[in-house]
């Protein structure tokens, strides 16, 4: 009887031991698969005081949910402290240009797990009233993030506002500056189209583009028209270069970002010293919308607002030709300063 009890006990111990070993092997395999699905994302040491840190890719899912609640003001100070979250001044700013693709660029960069974007344009540096509120007011407008993520904001009016370069320099003289540009004439017409749509929504009349872009007295390009003036990129950039070296700027091709976004985003990742994480998986062409949409994960996709990609009004070809001829010498100088050439007519 005793022998049978000992044999039965050994059999039970064997079964329990097998189950334990099997469970352990499963956990090891599971952890391995999770590591492959959630690779570590090293952030360059210059973005944090602690050297080469690592952020799990699952931070991407975290900021889609919990950080959203924090932005809405639903989190307690204790929750913020426990999750080690902070509101940081931006390490990079998209400073312009208007109608160049600033929103698209910001949303696409937000695909990167180490990037956290400010949802709204802050207009801190170009608005005297906001600027008078101080840098702490600006910081509190930033989203919550992990200490070693980088915060990016975009306010395209920064590029053309005279006071902004000095103000940003005083905040951070080593900040990274992103400028996204499109073919200048197309950008000017896009600028006009946005204003026109706003007027039409209010049942207001508005001049035709040709009347605004061409001076009726001289029949020359009207440089007082803001949409034209904004497209003279080199004039604005020269003002910024009084404070920042050209190495702190990266020029993004806004036209290419529409048709072939991944190479442009990969260049920005490199400029920001971020490990490559945005892939073709994250970008898919939406034939209905006519441009690329974003895929964050298997369940969360996002397209830009319907106001993007407005249909431009027809513009007299002679006016387009005159504008392109006018912009040409400024474009050549822009290529020379930035070291990037575009196929603009």
Is 202 annotated to bind a ligand? Reply is no
Is 338 annotated to bind a ligand? Reply is no
Is 312 annotated to bind a ligand? Reply is yes
Distance CA 221, CA 163 (A): 26
Is 311 annotated to bind a ligand? Reply is yes
Let me know: does 154 contact 106? Beta carbons within 8 Å: yes
Let me know: does 143 contact 151? Beta carbons within 8 Å: yes
184-201 and 317-338 helices cross at what angle (nearest 10)? 120
Is 48 annotated to bind a ligand? Reply is no
Nearest to 239 by CA among 178, 170, 162: 162
Q: Are strands 249-253 and 176-181 parallel, antiparallel or unpaired?
A: parallel
Helix or strand run (H / E) with residue 7: helix 2-37
Is 174 annotated to bind a ligand? Reply is no
Is 182 annotated to bind a ligand? Reply is yes
Is 139 annotated to bind a ligand? Reply is no
Is 256 annotated to bind a ligand? Reply is no
The DSSP string of 251-318 is EEEHHHHHH-HHHHHHHHHHHTTPPP---GGGEEEETTTTEEEEE-SSS-EE---TTTTPPPPP--HH
Is 100 annotated to bind a ligand? Reply is yes
CB atoms within 10 A of CB 22: 10
Is 309 annotated to bind a ligand? Reply is yes
Burial zone of 81 (CB within 10 Å; 0-12 exposed, 13-18 middle, 19+ buried): exposed
Whether 77 is a known active-site residue: answer no
Q: Which of 63, 99, 117, 154 is catalytic?
A: 99
Bridge partners of 116, per DSSP, are: 151
Q: Helices H, strands E: what count in the chain?
A: 14, 12
Whether the bond between 284 and the residue before it is cis, its omega within 30 degrees of 0, is no
Sequence-ordered list of residues with C-beta below 8 angstroms from that of 329, at least 6 positions apart, any chain: none
Is 254 annotated to bind a ligand? Reply is no
Is 190 annotated to bind a ligand? Reply is yes
CB atoms within 10 A of CB 316: 13
DSSP 46: G
**Look-up of token digits 């080469």:** 52
The residues annotated as belonging to the active site are 99
Numbered residues of the known binding site for 3'-phosphoadenylyl sulfate? 99-103, 182, 190, 292, 308-312
Numbered residues of the known binding site? 99-103, 182, 190, 292, 308-312
């Amino acid at each position: 009887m005793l022998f049978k009890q000992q044999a039965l006990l050994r059999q039970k111990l064997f079964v329990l031991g097998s189950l334990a070993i099997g469970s352990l092997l499963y956990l090891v395999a599971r952890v391995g698969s999770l590591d492959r699905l959630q690779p570590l994302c090293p952030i360059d040491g210059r973005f944090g005081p602690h050297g080469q840190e690592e952020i799990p890719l699952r931070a991407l899912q975290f900021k889609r949910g919990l950080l959203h609640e924090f932005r809405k003001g639903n989190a307690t100070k204790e929750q913020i402290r426990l999750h080690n979250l902070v509101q940081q001044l931006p390490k990079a700013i998209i400073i312009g240009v208007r109608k160049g693709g600033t929103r698209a660029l910001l949303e696409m960069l937000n695909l990167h797990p180490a990037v956290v974007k400010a949802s709204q344009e802050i207009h801190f540096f170009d608005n005297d009233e906001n600027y008078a509120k101080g840098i702490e007011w600006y910081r509190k407008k930033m989203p919550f993030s992990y200490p070693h993520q980088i915060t990016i904001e975009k306010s395209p009016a920064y590029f053309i506002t005279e006071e902004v370069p000095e103000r940003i320099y005083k905040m951070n003289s080593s900040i990274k500056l992103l400028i996204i540009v499109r073919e200048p004439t197309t950008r000017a017409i896009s600028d006009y189209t946005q204003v026109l749509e706003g007027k039409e929504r209010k049942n207001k009349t508005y001049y035709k583009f040709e009347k605004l872009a061409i001076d009726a007295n001289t029949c020359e390009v009207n440089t007082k028209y803001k949409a034209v003036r904004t497209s003279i990129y080199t004039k604005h950039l020269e003002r910024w270069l009084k404070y920042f070296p050209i190495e702190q700027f990266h020029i993004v091709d806004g036209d290419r970002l529409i048709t072939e976004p991944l190479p442009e985003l990969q260049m920005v990742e490199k400029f920001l010293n971020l490990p490559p994480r945005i892939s073709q998986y994250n970008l898919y062409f939406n034939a209905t919308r006519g441009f690329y949409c974003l895929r964050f994960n298997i369940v969360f996709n996002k397209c830009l607002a319907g106001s993007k990609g407005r249909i431009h009004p027809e513009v007299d070809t002679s006016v387009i030709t005159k504008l392109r001829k006018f912009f040409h010498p400024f474009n050549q100088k822009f290529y020379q300063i930035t070291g990037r050439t575009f196929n603009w007519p």
